[in-house]
């Protein structure tokens, strides 16, 4: 937002609010522009002592055919300060080739530093951090495990999400409770002028979206997707994809005509079933949902308040069926919470953020442990966080600094001032368009997921509280980066990071009896280099992201790479627009193999569990796998080529589009899971063609 003829302006925040302070009385023209939208000019009057409220609606450009300038960090944006922030709008998400249709999480995994262990991943991993160290927010609501089986979709429909902020490290005050990253999604509110909708179908699922005004001050949006039955997939594609899923999102928004404040009731629901046709292979079920009430608006002339009250829920189940070696298990998280943030705009253009978040997750984990006992572990935490954050320009530096207070330990008197977590991001121009960026942050996490660290690939993770005998997990991030334009059409971003994990939760390898704790404190580190290249001309976009990284965990004198340590990761994306309405995209993804522990042999193991009652010499044993050094070997590398083509066209007053997508074009058999108890291997998505037809009105 820029007032023409002046140097005054502001960037809208992630929810679309902006404030330009201290405008002298008079008549002005506000020029509003954004990448991918038609620039708009609005005439307005400013009066002394009275705020002027403007509503700016930008229309999307059809196809960008003019000269393209790629900017590593758009001027005036938050990403101009932060080293590790990428903001993706709907257009960027859609530029990433879809497996079957656009997908936010598939899109963000193209960013350097983010890797997935599988197409079926229940987690992604950021800069050497574990999968449970990512904070995922949807309109401020904390979401647990928002993934669909087989990784074809995330549970968030890109048609619903307006903007996605991804912090891959050193995230600012205001985000806490996780050590590695933040994915902050803000949804659209729906069409305020007229009823509109979208319906689409592909080989895997169908979707319906409706939005529009409910009254003069209220509008709504509803969106739902559901897979066809596995039988349909088998008949239609002759492929066994034992997966079924659904997801749905709704949002009803009431606007205040006077203050432009928005009050929303929102919810999303998703579910997955992964069913094996083998009677001795387990079935998996996941359910995720969140419901909340949100408010966003000006409470004072210069104070913007965002608040949300929500309840988030996650449940995962493993049904062992007739398996004799796999046991049933379930896990759930029920997390009611409240989050509020006030943004204060000052005359000096400094911006202050003050906020808090309290949530009360109840974590349950049911399992049959190795002693053969059915364990039901349940705990409820009171997680509390508060923050103050300051953004300013002290020439030539841009500064984003803050303090984040993790009150979880303070509430129970288990920790003290060490939970005051400093966060700082600074940047300055160095030459031409190039900027230097530096970041530091300290982070704490109080809940973790547990799984069998010796599985080749973990499929089932359970959330649990960090044991009482251990401190919370802690990490420090140090990031340095430079970015700028090599040419007008070519931008480059380089970043280096070093993360110190001063406290992690790890198996107690010295445990002998029930008097010894299951877990002990470990430490670790992660470091890496990342490069992001973007090239764009009117009919062609090229995007390349490469990262090289190394992570290690040190526990009880043993140093080993964590299971999600991927040394090399490369993502290449090309988007070709041969003519108006037509888009062809290709994405090739490569990742070097993840670590695992090799099986060196099996032997017949006796339990001797009744040696003083029954003669051990008659005991029947069972096969036992002797493992090699922990995570000393690597799985085969992962690579996959996806292609998609789509064509948009008008159908009288409607807009239609047709698309074809090819997943895993050369049918790479990327390993998903290997059960060393049965020797069975499961691969990730095979070659999978799909066509999508959609109609919008």
Partner 1 sequence: MVGCEEPFSPKGPFLDRTVVFSLLAARSDTQFVRVFRTYYPPHDNPYEVDWETPDTSVRVVLSDSTRSATLSDTVLTRGDGSTVHAYVAYPFHIEPGQQYSLHVAEPGRQEAVSSTTVPGQGSVLIENYEALFDLEAHRFDDLHLDVEISPQAAAYLPRLSVEFQVYSTGAVLEREVPLDLRTSDRGNEIPVYPDITHVASTGQRSYYFTYSLHAYAYTLRKIIADYGDVYFRQANCYLVQTDQALYVYYNVANGFRDAFSIRMDQPDYSNIEGGLGVFGSYNVDKKSYELPSIISIPATL
Q: Name residues contacting partner 1, limited to 173-232 (CB under 8 A).
A: none
Residue 32's closest CA among 53, 61, 73, 2? 2
Which of 70, 381 has the CB closer to partner 1? 381
Span from 34-42, 545-553, 556-564, 680-688 in contact with partner 1 (CB under 8 A): 680-688
**What b/e readout covers 210-227, taking b as 16+ CB neighbours within 10 angstroms?**
bbbeeeeeebbbbbbbbb
Output the six-digit token pair for 165: 């902020």
Least Å distance between CB 596 and partner 1?
A: 7
Site for partner 1 in 2-31 (CB under 8 A): none
Which of 55, 618 has the CB closer to partner 1? 618
240 contributes a contact to partner 1 by CB under 8 A: no
Which of 201, 627 has the CB closer to partner 1? 627
Strand 654-663 relative to strand 243-255, pairing:
unpaired
Strand 595-596 relative to strand 519-537, pairing:
unpaired
626 contributes a contact to partner 1 by CB under 8 A: yes
Which of 39, 375 has the CB closer to partner 1? 375
Within 13 A of 627's CA, how many CA atoms are on the CB side?
13
Residues 595 and 553: their CA atoms lie apart, in Å, by 12
Least Å distance between CB 482 and partner 1?
A: 37
Residues 338 and 140: their CA atoms lie apart, in Å, by 9
Cis preceding linkage at 380, omega within 30: no
Least Å distance between CB 236 and partner 1?
A: 17
Residues 21 and 3: their CA atoms lie apart, in Å, by 12
Which of 48, 666 has the CB closer to partner 1? 666
Least Å distance between CB 667 and partner 1?
A: 5
> Out of 236, 412, 579, 602, which residue is the one contacting partner 1 (CB under 8 A)?
602
Site for partner 1 in 464-483 (CB under 8 A): 464
Least Å distance between CB 454 and partner 1?
A: 5
Q: Quote the DSSP letter at residue 151.
A: G
Distance (Å) of CA 413 to CA 355, 407, 421: 22, 9, 17
Q: Residue count at the site for partner 1 (CB under 8 A)?
A: 71
Which of 48, 371 has the CB closer to partner 1? 371
The three-class DSSP label of residue 500 is strand
- Tell me which residue has tokens 């809208």: 12
Which of 528, 595 has the CB closer to partner 1? 595
> Out of 162, 226, 321, 677, which residue is the one contacting partner 1 (CB under 8 A)?
677
- Do residues 546 and 570 touch, judged by C-beta distance below 8 A? yes
- What count of other Cβ atoms lies within 10 Å of the Cβ of residue 31? 16
Least Å distance between CB 440 and partner 1?
A: 35
> Out of 55, 59, 417, 512, which residue is the one contacting partner 1 (CB under 8 A)?
512
Residue 191's closest CA among 213, 162, 209? 213
Which of 41, 667 has the CB closer to partner 1? 667
Site for partner 1 in 65-124 (CB under 8 A): none
- Do residues 340 and 438 touch, judged by C-beta distance below 8 A? no
Which of 345, 596 has the CB closer to partner 1? 596
451 contributes a contact to partner 1 by CB under 8 A: yes
Distance (Å) of CA 393 to CA 28, 40, 251, 349, 390: 25, 27, 37, 8, 10
411 contributes a contact to partner 1 by CB under 8 A: no
568 contributes a contact to partner 1 by CB under 8 A: no
Least Å distance between CB 516 and partner 1?
A: 7
The three-class DSSP label of residue 469 is coil
State the burial class of residue 493 (Cβ atoms within 10 Å of its Cβ: 0-12, 13-18, 19+): buried
Residue 10's closest CA among 30, 36, 28, 29? 30
Which of 404, 566 has the CB closer to partner 1? 566
Site for partner 1 in 515-534 (CB under 8 A): 515-516, 518
> Out of 418, 681, 691, 693, which residue is the one contacting partner 1 (CB under 8 A)?
681
- Tell me which residue has tokens 């609005």: 42
Site for partner 1 in 361-400 (CB under 8 A): 365, 367, 369-373, 375, 377
Contact map string, positions 634 to 673, toward partner 1, x by CB under 8 A: -xx-----------------------------xxxx-x--
Span from 77-85, 133-141, 393-401, 678-686 in contact with partner 1 (CB under 8 A): 678-686
What is the biggest distance separating any 2 CA atoms in the chain, rounded to whole angstroms? 98
Which of 67, 510 has the CB closer to partner 1? 510
Least Å distance between CB 365 and partner 1?
A: 6
- Do residues 359 and 383 touch, judged by C-beta distance below 8 A? yes
> Out of 43, 50, 257, 618, which residue is the one contacting partner 1 (CB under 8 A)?
618
- Tell me which residue has tokens 């169908």: 206
590 contributes a contact to partner 1 by CB under 8 A: no
238 contributes a contact to partner 1 by CB under 8 A: no
H-helix segments, 422-543:
none
Which of 353, 365 has the CB closer to partner 1? 365
Within 13 A of 21's CA, how many CA atoms are on the CB side?
12
- Do residues 317 and 291 touch, judged by C-beta distance below 8 A? no
Site for partner 1 in 273-332 (CB under 8 A): 325
């Amino acid at each position: 937002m820029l007032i023409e003829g002046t140097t005054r302006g502001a960037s809208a925040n992630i929810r679309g609010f902006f404030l330009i302070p201290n405008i002298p009385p008079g008549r002005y023209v506000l020029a509003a522009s954004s990448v991918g939208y038609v620039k708009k000019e609005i005439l307005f009057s400013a009066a002394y002592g009275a705020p002027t409220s403007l509503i700016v609606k930008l229309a999307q450009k059809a196809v960008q055919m003019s000269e393209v300038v790629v900017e590593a960090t758009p001027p005036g944006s938050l990403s101009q300060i932060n080293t590790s922030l990428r903001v993706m709008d709907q257009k960027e998400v859609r530029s990433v080739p879809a497996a079957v249709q656009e997908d936010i999480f598939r899109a963000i995994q193209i960013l350097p530093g983010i890797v997935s262990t599988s197409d079926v991943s229940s987690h992604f991993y950021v800069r050497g951090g574990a999968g449970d160290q990512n904070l995922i927010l949807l309109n401020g609501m904390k979401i647990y495990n928002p993934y669909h089986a087989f990784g074809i979709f995330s549970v968030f429909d890109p048609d619903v999400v307006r903007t996605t902020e991804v912090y891959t490290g050193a995230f600012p005050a205001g985000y806490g409770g996780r050590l590695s990253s933040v994915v902050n999604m803000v949804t659209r509110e729906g069409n305020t002028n007229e009823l509109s909708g979208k319906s689409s179908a592909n080989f895997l699922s169908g979707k319906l979206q409706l939005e529009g005004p409910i009254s003069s001050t209220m509008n709504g949006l509803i969106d739902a997707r559901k897979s066809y039955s596995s039988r349909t997939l088998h008949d239609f594609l002759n492929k066994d994809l034992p997966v079924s899923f659904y997801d749905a999102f709704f949002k009803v928004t009431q606007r205040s005509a006077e203050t432009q404040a928005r009050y929303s009731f929102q919810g999303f629901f998703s579910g997955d079933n992964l069913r094996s046709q083998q009677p001795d292979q387990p079935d998996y079920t996941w359910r995720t949902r969140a419901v909340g009430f949100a408010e966003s608006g000006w409470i004072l002339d210069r104070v913007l308040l965002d608040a949300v009250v929500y309840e988030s829920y996650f449940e995962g189940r493993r049904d062992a069926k007739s398996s004799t070696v796999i046991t049933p298990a379930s896990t759930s998280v029920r997390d009611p919470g409240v989050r509020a943030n006030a943004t204060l705009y000052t005359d000096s253009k400094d911006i202050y953020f003050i906020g808090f978040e309290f949530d009360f997750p109840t974590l349950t984990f049911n399992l049959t442990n190795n002693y053969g006992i059915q364990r039901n572990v349940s705990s409820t935490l009171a997680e509390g966080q508060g923050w103050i954050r300051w953004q300013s320009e002290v020439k030539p530096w841009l500064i984003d600094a803050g303090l984040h207070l993790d009150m979880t330990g303070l509430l129970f008197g288990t920790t003290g001032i060490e939970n005051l977590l400093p966060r700082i991001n600074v940047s300055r121009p160095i030459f031409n368009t190039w900027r230097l960026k530096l970041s530091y942050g300290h982070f704490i996490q109080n809940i973790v997921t547990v799984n069998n660290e010796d599985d080749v690939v973990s499929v089932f993770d359970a959330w649990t509280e960090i044991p009482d005998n251990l401190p919370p997990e802690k990490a420090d991030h140090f990031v340095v980066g430079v970015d700028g334009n090599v040419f007008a059409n070519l931008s480059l971003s380089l970043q280096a990071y070093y993360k110190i994990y001063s406290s992690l939760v790890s198996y107690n390898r010295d445990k002998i009896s029930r008097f010894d704790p299951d877990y002990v404190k470990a430490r670790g580190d992660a470091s890496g280099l990342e490069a992001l290249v973007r090239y764009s001309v009117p009919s062609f976009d090229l995007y390349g992201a490469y990262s090289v990284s190394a992570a290690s965990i040190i526990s009880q004198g043993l140093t080993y790479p964590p299971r999600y340590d991927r040394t090399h990761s490369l993502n290449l994306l090309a988007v070709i627009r041969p003519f108006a309405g037509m888009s062809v995209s290709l994405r090739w993804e490569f990742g070097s193999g993840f670590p695992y522990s090799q099986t060196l042999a099996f032997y017949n193991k006796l339990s001797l569990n009744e040696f003083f009652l029954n003669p051990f010499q008659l005991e029947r044993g069972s096969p036992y796998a002797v493992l090699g050094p922990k995570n000393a070997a690597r799985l085969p590398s992962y690579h996959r080529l996806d292609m998609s083509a789509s064509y948009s066209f008008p159908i009288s007053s409607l807009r239609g589009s047709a698309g074809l997508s090819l997943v895993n074009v050369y049918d790479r058999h990327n390993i998903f899971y290997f059960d060393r108890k049965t020797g069975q291997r499961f691969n990730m998505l095979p070659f999978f063609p799909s066509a999508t037809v959609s109609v919008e009105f």
